[in-house]
């Protein structure tokens, strides 16, 4: 049993600094996730986010164009997370049911602050909920359509989404034991049979 | 396929008025769920919530004692929802795996504004996350311990929680189709086999 890393920021700061521009952008994103989480979208100011990041407020406009665009960026799946997910899932659709849980946990154990920001946004802003719907469709619908057992890929993908997002919510947000600290191997073994039935099994 | 009722408030107002005191308290709770949802806890004021409810701000202190206690009340499971859940689940632990999904959907289809408030709170305030953990333990841990197939009732209850809360998140908050508008009967048939395996099936 290992505790997931507490935040992207802590892990990132531990790895040393990146090139200045990218670093400023990433630092602003981390600060924005914290401030939006603490005071909500309406009450968060560009000035407060810039202060938290230790940069001039003009940097927010330079890198993101404004508060709404910065918020949008905080609720997107980080590009490196998307790459990890695609790599873990592989190219063969037939292995998707067995690999989906491990790919999901591998990504979000690494980026759990981003997952919390996404959930916080999705429960309070329709824009974030719509983005999560789009993300789920883009990431899993296509793959499931290629292998599912009947002509209901959207239903099957949506059932997978209920299980996967619920798993993430309990592991990273609600921190319900033993889900919060269980190993990726253990959770993969426990939950993959559910994914297999939702994707390729009989449903009725 | 039927659309879940859009909010507790709409259903409640349709049923006519209750005794004055209880009515003021319920109206304040509805207004508080709306205002906390719109602007977040930090930015919500007692004055704004009272104005939304159409009552004097002194009523918040009278009925709840202040903003924090009012917030706590908005993220509790409504007493009538708890009664419905207990009734739907029944007294025989052996039927829990088959009835859990139906009981969950019956309760939250009726009280979906309360579910959204609970999720919004749980993703942004540790107090609300802790309350959700307690609620899940109180509602399902004891029942599952009575019937589960081995000495891991907490793991089994937590697995059930990942599936149930994920289902509620997709149905009431993210509104992912076809989960959002599917009938209770259809979702019960689709998801109950997952609950049966998590509670009484082999896990390894």
Average pLDDT over residues A42-68: 91
Separation CA A136–CA A141 (nearest Å): 7
- Tell which of B123, B153, B182 to mutate to test the A interface (max A CBs under 10 Å): B123
Separation CA A148–CA A172 (nearest Å): 29
Instruction: Give the number of residues written for chain B.
Output: 204
CB B158 within 8 A of CB A178: yes
Average pLDDT over residues B31-35: 88
Average pLDDT over residues B110-125: 86
Q: Is the ipTM of this complex over 0.90?
A: no
Q: What's the Cα-to-Cα distance from A103 to each of A35, A77, A137, A176, B175, rounded to whole Å?
A: 29, 14, 16, 21, 24
Q: Which of B97, B91, B86, B98 is nearest to B139 (CA)?
A: B86
pLDDT at A4 exceeding the cut of 50 = no
Q: How many CA atoms lie within 13 A of B82 on its CB side?
A: 8
CB contact under 8 A, B190 and A164: no
Average pLDDT over residues B66-70: 88
Q: What is the pTM of this model?
A: 0.81
Q: Which of A62, A80, A79, A73 is nearest to A30 (CA)?
A: A73
- Tell which of A124, A160, A185 to mutate to test the B interface (max B CBs under 10 Å): A124
Reading phi first (left if > 0) and then psi (alpha if -120 to 50, else beta), residue A105 is in alpha
CB A70 within 8 A of CB A24: no
Q: How many CA atoms lie within 13 A of B101 on its CB side?
A: 24
CB contact under 8 A, B40 and A39: yes
CB contact under 8 A, A158 and B176: yes
CB contact under 8 A, A165 and B170: yes
Average pLDDT over residues B119-131: 84
pLDDT over 90 percentage in chain B = 41
| Residue listed under structure tokens 């909500």 | A40
pLDDT at B150 exceeding the cut of 70 = yes
pLDDT, mean over chain B: 84
pLDDT at A10 exceeding the cut of 60 = no
Q: Which of B152, B106, B125 is nearest to B44 (CA)?
A: B125
């Amino acid at each position: 049993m290992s505790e997931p890393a507490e935040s992207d920021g802590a892990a990132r700061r531990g790895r040393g600094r990146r090139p200045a521009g990218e670093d400023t952008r990433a630092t602003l994103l981390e600060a924005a996730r914290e401030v939006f989480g603490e005071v909500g979208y309406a009450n968060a100011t560009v000035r407060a986010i810039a202060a938290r990041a230790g940069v001039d407020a003009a940097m927010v406009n330079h890198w993101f164009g404004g508060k709404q665009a910065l918020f949008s960026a905080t609720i997107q799946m980080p590009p490196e997370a998307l790459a990890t997910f695609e790599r873990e899932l592989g190219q063969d659709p037939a292995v998707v049911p067995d690999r989906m849980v491990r790919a999901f946990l591998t990504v979000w154990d690494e980026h759990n602050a981003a997952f919390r920001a996404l959930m916080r946004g999705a429960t309070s802003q329709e824009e974030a909920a719509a983005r999560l719907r789009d993300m789920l469709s883009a990431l899993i619908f296509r793959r499931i359509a290629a292998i599912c057992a009947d002509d209901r890929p959207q239903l099957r993908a949506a059932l997978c989404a209920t299980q996967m997002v619920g798993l993430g919510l309990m592991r990273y947000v609600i921190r319900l034991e033993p889900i919060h600290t269980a190993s990726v191997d253990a959770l993969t073994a426990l939950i993959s049979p559910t994914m297999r039935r939702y994707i390729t099994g009989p449903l009725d």
